[in-house]
């Protein structure tokens, strides 16, 4: 039972837009956070470099002039306006401040090295301000302690700007993400609805249904083309099965009816031994015909079930040579000249199926050619293709019936008296389709020319036309 497809809803579009927005927000947050961390790390490294340079110069001054010279220098520095906002503290071994911008040794600094913290700093005019600082502590000779620091509030400003930028970025990204996500989701859902509706009508029996193409060269267009190709293949299979069922029912019914009628007549008449032998012989011929139909149907099923997994590089010329050698005695018995003209041509395919294709074409050509006629089999390389051509001088096929004879159990009136059930060319068409080959029936004036164009498996070795 075919059910109506569910229509895509606005809720589905909103969910799609929401997922797109969440992904965009997460990406934006990660990008801004990475940038913030990298910038903050750069500022810290720059500050530590300045503190290292300043500390080195002060240690050198201490080693030259001792604590008295260093203390005098720090007093002069303390009275100046500092471009880099350095501050200093020189303390005695017991931690008592001797000179500097701090009233006491910070409790946060318990060992030499870098330290970030908040403390009260005395400015040049004597006022005290709470500031966030980055310090470098060193231990001098004699147990003296030296602390060199710099105002490190650029990191706070950077953090504040980061939070503001993050907020507005998320707001703008969220709005744009919702808008663009809604539009993209609606487009995707519209395509899904279109495919679903077409598929439902296709399942209902309208095998001509195809997904409408928008004309845009995008992913949706390529997906629609792929779906349509699947629909075409399914339609072909379904129609072939219908034709096969009808044709097979007809072709099986006729010989079975003849066998049944003979047996009934023999029973009614009380047939003699000679008549029974004739009935058995005629029935055996009809049964042989039934077995041929079944065998041909199996061959056709195998041909259509062949996949590229079993393909290998094969020489089409060698396959044609084997088929011609096989049919040479048959052609000679009928008085038909069977000729081969070939050039080595490698194609990707199933050797057995390619052999069946060539054999069926030669069999038809010899079967329908009159005595004294000729049949030519040619293998040529043309551009990037290997071309198989089988030409005969038989009655040919009218142009308006050439597509019909490729269907199962279709036979022209002229061939009703010939052996066969009308599956040979169906196998050829199936084999050509499996190998992605182009099959063309042409007029040979007189007779029929069948051209099958295969893609070469070694196009880099193409021989110029």
Dihedral Cα 344, 345, 346, 349, nearest 10 deg: -120
Number of residues in the chain: 465
Share of the chain above pLDDT 70, in %: 82
**pLDDT attached to residue 230:** 87
CATH superfamily placement of domain 1-209? PAS domain (3.30.450.20)
**pLDDT attached to residue 416:** 43
Q: Is the pLDDT of residue 403 over 70?
A: yes
* CA–CA distance, 153 with 132 (Å, rounded to integer): 6
Q: Is the pLDDT of residue 227 over 50?
A: yes
**Helix (H, G, I), strand (E, B), or coil: what is residue 102?**
coil
Q: Is the pLDDT of residue 449 over 90?
A: yes
Residue identified by tokens 């009218």 is 398
- Please answer whether residues 153 and 132 qualify as being in contact, where contact means their C-beta atoms are separated by less than 8 angstroms: yes
Fold classification of 239-303 is Helix Hairpins (1.10.287)
Q: Is the pLDDT of residue 39 over 50?
A: yes
**Enclosing H/E stretch for 146:** strand 145-151
229-238, 344-353, 374-383: segment of lowest average pLDDT: 229-238
Domain map of the chain by residue range?
1-209, 239-303, 309-461
* Strands ordered across the beta sheet of 337-342: 337-342, 374-382, 385-391, 448-455, 438-443
| Mean pLDDT, all residues of the chain | 79
Selection from 240, 291, 254, 294 nearest residue 410 by Cα: 240
Q: Is the pLDDT of residue 406 over 80?
A: no
Share of the chain above pLDDT 90, in %: 14
* CA–CA distance, 2 with 200 (Å, rounded to integer): 7
What is the mean predicted confidence (pLDDT) over 305-332?
Answer: 86
Q: Which residue has the higher pLDDT, 237 or 378?
A: 378
Q: Is the pLDDT of residue 419 over 60?
A: no
**pLDDT attached to residue 1:** 44
- Please answer whether residues 82 and 88 qualify as being in contact, where contact means their C-beta atoms are separated by less than 8 angstroms: no
Is it true that 1-209 and 239-303 share their CATH fold?
no
Across 136-140, 218-222, 297-301, which has the greatest mean pLDDT?
A: 136-140
Write the pLDDT tens digit of every residue in 63-91: 888 888 888 888 887 776 654 467 788 88
Cis peptide before 446 (omega within 30 of 0): yes
Write the pLDDT tens digit of every residue in 236-284: 777 766 766 666 666 677 778 888 887 887 778 777 777 788 888 888 8
Integer angstrom CA distances of residue 426 from 189, 203, 348, 432: 41, 26, 21, 10
pLDDT-derived band at 405 (thresholds 50, 70, 90) equals: confident
What is the mean predicted confidence (pLDDT) over 318-324?
Answer: 92
**pLDDT attached to residue 243:** 64
Q: Which residue has the higher pLDDT, 395 or 217?
A: 395
Q: Record the tokens describing residue 378, joined without a space.
A: 């040619």
pLDDT-derived band at 119 (thresholds 50, 70, 90) equals: confident
**pLDDT attached to residue 2:** 45
Q: Please provide the CATH number assigned to the domain covering 309-461.
A: 3.30.565.10
Residue 352 CB neighbours (<10 A): 15
Which residues, listed in sequence order, are joined to residue 456 by a DSSP beta bridge?
347
Q: Which residue has the higher pLDDT, 409 or 37?
A: 37
Q: Is the pLDDT of residue 451 over 90?
A: yes
pLDDT-derived band at 465 (thresholds 50, 70, 90) equals: very low
**CB neighbour list of residue 380: distance below 8 Å, 6 or more residues apart:** 342, 343, 345, 386, 387, 389
Q: Is the pLDDT of residue 7 over 60?
A: no
48-62, 114-128, 275-289: segment of lowest average pLDDT: 114-128
pLDDT-derived band at 190 (thresholds 50, 70, 90) equals: confident
**pLDDT attached to residue 392:** 92
What is the mean predicted confidence (pLDDT) over 174-190?
Answer: 74
Selection from 392, 404, 323 nearest residue 364 by Cα: 392
Q: Is the pLDDT of residue 210 over 60?
A: yes
């Amino acid at each position: 039972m075919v059910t109506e497809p569910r229509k895509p809803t606005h809720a589905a579009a909103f969910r799609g837009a929401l997922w797109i927005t969440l992904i965009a927000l997460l990406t934006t947050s990660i990008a801004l956070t990475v940038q913030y961390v990298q910038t903050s790390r750069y500022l810290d490294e720059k500050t530590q470099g300045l503190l290292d340079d300043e500390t080195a110069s002060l240690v050198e001054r201490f080693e030259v002039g001792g604590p008295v010279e260093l203390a005098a220098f720090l007093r002069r520095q303390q009275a100046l306006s500092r471009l880099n906002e350095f501050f200093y503290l020189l303390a005695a071994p017991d931690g008592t401040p001797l000179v500097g911008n701090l009233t006491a040794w910070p409790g946060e600094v318990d060992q030499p090295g870098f330290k970030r913290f908040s403390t009260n700093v005395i400015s040049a005019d004597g006022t005290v301000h709470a500031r966030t600082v980055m310090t470098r502590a060193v231990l001098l000779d004699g147990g003296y302690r030296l602390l060199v620091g710099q105002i490190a509030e650029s990191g706070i400003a950077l953090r504040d700007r980061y939070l503001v930028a993050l907020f507005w970025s998320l707001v703008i990204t969220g709005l744009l993400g919702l808008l663009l996500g809604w539009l993209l989701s609606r487009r995707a859902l519209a395509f899904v609805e279109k495919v679903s509706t077409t598929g439902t009508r296709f399942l209902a029996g309208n095998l001509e249904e195809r997904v409408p193409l928008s004309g845009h060269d995008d992913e949706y267009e390529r997906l629609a083309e792929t779906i349509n190709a699947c629909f075409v293949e399914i339609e072909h299979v379904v129609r072939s099965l219908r034709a096969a069922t009808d044709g097979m029912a007809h072709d099986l019914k006729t010989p079975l009816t003849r066998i049944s009628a003979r047996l009934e007549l023999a029973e009614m008449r009380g047939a003699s031994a000679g008549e029974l032998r004739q009935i058995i012989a005629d029935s055996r011929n009809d049964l042989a015909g039934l077995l041929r139909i079944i065998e041909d149907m199996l061959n056709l099923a195998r041909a259509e079930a062949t996949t590229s997994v079993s393909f290998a590089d094969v020489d089409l010329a060698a396959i044609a040579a084997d088929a011609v050698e096989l049919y040479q005695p048959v052609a000679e018995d009928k008085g038909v000249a069977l000729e081969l003209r070939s050039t080595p041509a490698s194609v990707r395919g199933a050797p057995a199926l390619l052999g069946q294709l060539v054999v069926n074409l030669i069999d038809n050509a010899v079967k329908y050619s009159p005595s004294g006629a000729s049949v030519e089999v040619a293998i040529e390389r043309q551009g990037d293709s290997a071309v198989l051509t089988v030409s005969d001088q038989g009655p040919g096929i009218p142009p308006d019936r050439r597509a019909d004879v490729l269907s199962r159990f279709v036979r022209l009136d002229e061939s009703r008296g010939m052996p066969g059930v009308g599956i040979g060319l169906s196998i050829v068409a199936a084999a050509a389709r499996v190998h992605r080959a182009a099959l063309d029936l042409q007029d040979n004036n007189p007779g029929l020319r069948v051209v099958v164009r295969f893609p070469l498996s070694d196009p880099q070795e193409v021989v110029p036309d």
